[in-house]
Chain A
Amino acid sequence: MEQIHVNMDVLLPAGYSEYVIDTQRDIELTFFAKEDSDVYIRIINAKKINIRTFAESNTNVAYLFWNAAKSEIHVDESHEVLANAHVTVAYGECNGAATMRNTFVALRQEGASALVTSASLVDCKKNYRMQVVNYAPHTYGDMKNYSVVLKTGELMIDAIGKVVKGARRSQSHQTSRALSFEKGVHATILPELLIDENDVNASHAMSIGRVDDDQLYYLMSRGLSVKQCTSLISTGYLMPITDTLNNEVLKEKLQEEMERKLNELC
């Protein structure tokens, strides 16, 4: 596990690697992937984080960003995906501090694909702007955002799929779901598709809903407290996002971290 305290350019090793961002200052990081890599990045402390990643042609790269910060962070990310490379960017956002994140993914060359996913347990302000742009033909972009919004949470997701003219036979998809347990919870999801090419395949799905009173009553009638029900239902709602990670180590990391956070709800 490598500690990152200052600005760095990182050439990712093949296989699995871990980084911890822990700094009192603003930080700029660049990750280059020339081989297949699975990267776990744990954010402990930082103010403004600026991240750029490059996936060389024919690489398969996955990043899991686990936010463990105790105070507000601002993240600006840009991911460049070259020909026939595949990049997965996963966010675990279950800490109790605000996040302002701007994610930009460029599917720069033919055959590039990217999947951006997030699992959020929201009890404060979480604001994500995600943009995946198909710049080249035969590119594939997908976003999956699953959120449980608690009473004090405020969720805002602006998910933008964009296909430029000439990026024919490209695909742009997105799914965003938010669940709450109480009335009067703030959750806004803006699914956007900006398509400038005729020959594409695009979709978006969105749902925001509250747990049914009858479901809560049913679980409680077996002895579970409201908090235990919240934990159980949230676990069931958010855990499927871990399936988007193909790497077993990353998947287990996300599962463990989320389980710990969700158990804290009880």
Chain B
Amino acid sequence: MKTLEIKNLHVEVEGKEILKGVDLTVNENEVHALMGPNGNGKSTLLAAIMGNPKYIVTEGSITYDGKNILEMPVNERSVAGLFLAMQYPQEIPGVTNSDFLRAAMNVRREQPISLFKFIKEMESTIKDLEMKEDLAHRFLNEGFSGGEKKRNEIVQMEMLKPTLSMLDEIDSGLDVDALRIVADALNKMKNETNMSMIVVSHYERFYQLIKPQFTHVLVNGKIVVEGGEELAEKIDQEGYDWIYQEYNVQPASEAQNNVRTVSTGIGTCAVRTAAESAGKK
């Protein structure tokens, strides 16, 4: 069984400590929701696991399947089974989706995939994600809409078949239909391959679709509360205020400024809050 184990992880970005001792264990076929107000370390944690060179691990350990992944360059972590669907996927002009994906698939295989097999797989994945048929020939993410970029991350995930996927706000920029398409693809992958997931999202709607068994809340670089699916639900309804009070923590932005007190939960669904306040009027 492949397990991700993070112990006492401290991470710095440009000399500033963002993660201040994170412990997390993710077993095969588990879905973990990672929540917390903006700017408190969720994306940093995922980037550090993937190995973004801008994120410096100063203390602690990350192992996957018993291997110390901190010693591996980014590409080796990917081959080991890790996948990060990024919040802001890069545009790479000149490189087509198909050339890129074929190269990425071939690094995990002893024999290069045949063109015929590749095309078949690509076509069926494009169909799963309900993307335009010309996706394969388009340059990687260039000129894609926000939603297309996010769906293209899942196309890559389906083709590369990782064993642990990290999804960094994959639901932002997706309309209701696209959200369901993506969730269906994720659930299918999970059922077929035992893939585990760490999911960062601010929205209960997405969590309802992919059903995380565990919820972790990151505040100011530490996981302060852990629970099951009900925790995500509670945060969606009540925001983070009660966590700050109950666990005596302050979110990163507030901790630094130390000026204003929190009046509304930073991480609550902005649309819902707006709708509620409009309703009150």
- Bound form: Cα–Cα A165–B6 in Å: 73
Interface residue? B75 (CB, 8 A): yes
Please give me the 7 A-B residue pairs with the lowest Cβ-Cβ distance, nearest first. A236-B94, A218-B90, A223-B78, A220-B74, A222-B104, A236-B95, A223-B107
Scoring A217, A223, A226 by chain B CB atoms within 10 A of each residue's CB, the highest score goes to: A223
Taking A217-B74, A220-B73, A232-B99 as contacts, is the C-beta distance between A212 and B90 under 8 angstroms?
Answer: yes
**Residue of B at shortest CB range from A239?**
B94
**B215 on the A face (CB < 8 A):** no
The answer to the question of A233 belonging to the interface, with a C-beta cut-off of 8 Å to chain B, is yes
B92 near A: Cβ within 8 Å? Answer: yes
CB-defined contacts of B95 to chain A, threshold 8 Å: 219, 232-233, 235-236
A residues sitting closer than 8 Å to B (CB atoms) are 212-215, 217-226, 228, 232-233, 235-237, 239-240
Q: If A223-B75, A223-B78, A223-B107 touch, does A218 touch B94 (CB 8 Å cutoff)?
A: no
11 more CB-based (< 8 A) A-B contacts, given A212-B90, A214-B90, A218-B86: A219-B92, A221-B50, A221-B86, A222-B156, A222-B160, A223-B75, A223-B107, A224-B100, A224-B103, A232-B100, A236-B95
| B53 at interface by CB-CB < 8 Å | yes
Query: Which residues of the partner chain A approach B107 to less than 8 Å between Cβ atoms?
Result: 223-225, 228
- What number of A-B contacts does a CB cutoff of 8 Å give? 77
| A228–B74 CA distance with the chains assembled, in angstroms | 13
Mark B residues whose CB is within 8 Å of A.
50-54, 73-75, 77-79, 83-84, 86, 89-90, 92-96, 99-101, 103-104, 107-108, 139, 156, 160
Which of A212, A222, A235 is packed against the most chain B CB atoms within 10 Å? A222
Q: Which residues of B contact A225 (CB under 8 A)?
A: 75, 107
CA separation between A237 and B51, bound complex, in Å?
27
Measured between alpha carbons, how far is A220 from B95 in the docked complex, in Å? 14
Q: Are B104 and A237 in contact (CB under 8 A)?
A: no
**Of all chain B residues, which has the CB nearest A240?**
B94
- Verify A220–B78 contact, CB threshold 8 A: yes
Within 8 Å by CB of A223, from B52, B86, B96, B104, lies B104
Residues on B with beta carbons closer than 8 Å to the beta carbon of A240: 94
27 A-B pairs, CB-CB below 8 angstroms? A213-B53, A217-B53, A218-B90, A218-B92, A219-B90, A220-B73, A220-B75, A221-B74, A221-B78, A221-B86, A222-B78, A222-B83, A222-B160, A223-B79, A223-B104, A223-B107, A223-B160, A224-B103, A225-B75, A232-B95, A232-B99, A233-B94, A235-B94, A236-B93, A236-B94, A236-B139, A240-B94
Instruction: With A222-B104, A236-B139 as known contacts, state yes or no: A215 contacts B92, CB within 8 Å.
Output: yes
Give the complex CA separation of A236 and B99 in angstroms: 10
CB neighbours (8 Å) of B86 from chain A are 218, 221
Report A-chain residues with C-beta under 8 Å of the C-beta of B78: 220-223
What CA separation (Å) do A117 and B67 show in the bound complex? 50
Nearest B residue (CB) for A236: B94
Query: Across the interface, which residues of B come within 8 angstroms of A222, CB to CB?
Result: 75, 78, 83, 100-101, 104, 156, 160
